[in-house]
Amino acid sequence: MGEASKKKEIFTYEAPWEIYGMSWSVRPDKRFRIAVGSFIEEYSNKVQIIQLNENKGQFQETAIFDHPYPTTKIMWIPDKVGTQKDLLATTGDYLRLWEVQSGASSSNSSVAMKKLLNNNKNSEFCAPLTSFDWNDTDPSIIGTSSIDTTCTIWNIETGQAKTQLIAHDKEVYDIAFACGTEVFASVGADGSVRLFDLRSLEHSTIIYESSTPPDAPPLLRLAWNKQDTNYLATFMMDNTSVVILDIRVPSLPVAELQGHEQSVNAIAWAPHSHCHICSAGDDAHALIWDLQALPRAIEDPILAYKAMGEINQLQVLPALLSFSLLSLLLQWSASQPDWVAIGFGQQMQILRV
């Protein structure tokens, strides 16, 4: 790392538009590479790939490409060894796969769309996709969630849907795989967390409801603890708490984390620890919590960072944290867990924690 990077604890990037999606690359040969999406109130939006120049201590654009509508989520392929094609996935009106080709210099790349995945070819209309998850165990599998109440599991190599199911009574807002390829969970506007197993889709299990239907507040995002898959986290719309669930004890939260003064909008488990989770909210705070004391009550976070404005996005490097106030994203990457990235307005900052 260059001298400037050794000394600096924070780096700031100013995007040309409000940031609406963010994802940190997990490839070991692409440290400090982040994809950011735009929020422009028209059809034509952008996805920009930026890379920290560690010698100069500043971010540089390496590629930019057009995207229809703002991205509701961006993810790099979960390739921790860097042996597969350098792929990026996005959702909005459809699920799209993009391939990044490195140019002659590290500051120059090109991006081409490889696939557009559409399971409703008989209609000219599409139901917008709210989120997706890329399977860590088998990167040929992506699951998407939609406002049309469905979740779709895709084989991205064939471009075909493996299965599509009605997952909720109302819009589905998020989907997340457990470890392995068979089990996933979803949350939605009906206020429920539902558990599915691809080996027996005739049944699903409701493991939590935010209240008694039909008055249950929507659940907006879902995060699965990949170090201990008994634990899930979620949060309600317009609510200041993070709900921690133990799937072995359905219905009742094992903890409620109450540290935000305004609504929570993003959550992410640490990729390197089974007991740490980060939350971010409209109060411009990013909070890191230690859950080792469970089932005893967790009173306070162990770390808090105050941004200069409402946090749109948050990411922690190598275990990234990606937050989006609008798209409600949060990621914790897995290569350098001592860095976190946050986005607010047109700014993105990475900071050493």
- Amino acid letter, residue 284: A
Q: What is the pLDDT of residues 167-190, one digit of tens each?
A: 999 999 999 999 999 999 999 999
CA dist., res. 148 & res. 128, Å (int): 8
Over residues 269-298, the mean pLDDT reads 90
pLDDT category at 334 given cuts 50, 70, 90 is low
Q: Which of 105-109, 154-158, 263-267 has the lowest mean pLDDT?
A: 105-109
Predicted local confidence at residue 323, as pLDDT: 34
Pairwise CA distance, residues 242 & 340, whole Å: 19
SS3 157: coil
Q: How confident is the model at residue 298 (pLDDT cuts 50, 70, 90)?
A: very high
- In the DSSP assignment, the letter for residue 3 is H
d(CA 101, CA 112): 8
pLDDT of residue 310: 62
pTM of the model: 0.91
- What is the token pair recorded at 122? 């008989």
As a whole number of angstroms, the distance between CA 222 and CA 234 comes to 5
CB 49 within 8 A of CB 100: yes
Place of tokens 């969970």: 185
- Nearest CA-CA partner of 49 in 5, 109, 97: 109
Q: What is the pLDDT of residues 2-21, one digit of tens each?
A: 544 455 788 889 999 999 88
pLDDT digits (tens, 9 = 90+) for 206-252: 999 999 888 899 999 999 999 999 999 999 999 999 999 999 999 99
Bridge-based pairing of strands 219-224 and 231-236 is antiparallel
pLDDT tens string 22-63: 898 988 888 889 999 999 999 999 999 999 998 899 999 999
Please name the amino acid found at residue 48: Q
pLDDT of residue 317: 41
- Residue indicated by tokens 């792929």: 87
The mean pLDDT of 100-125, rounded to a whole number, is: 83
Beta bridge mates, 5? none
Confidence of residue 352 (pLDDT cuts 50, 70, 90): confident
pLDDT given at position 313: 54
Q: Which helix (H) or strand (E) holds 165?
A: strand 160-166
Q: Encode 82-99: b = buried (16+ Cβ within 10 Å), e = exposed.
A: eeeebbbbbbbbbbbbbe
Any alpha helices (H) in 185-323, and if so which ranges? none
- Percent with pLDDT over 90 in the chain: 64
DSSP string computed for 223-266: EE-SSSTTEEEEEETT-SEEEEEETTSTTS-SEEEE--SS-EEE
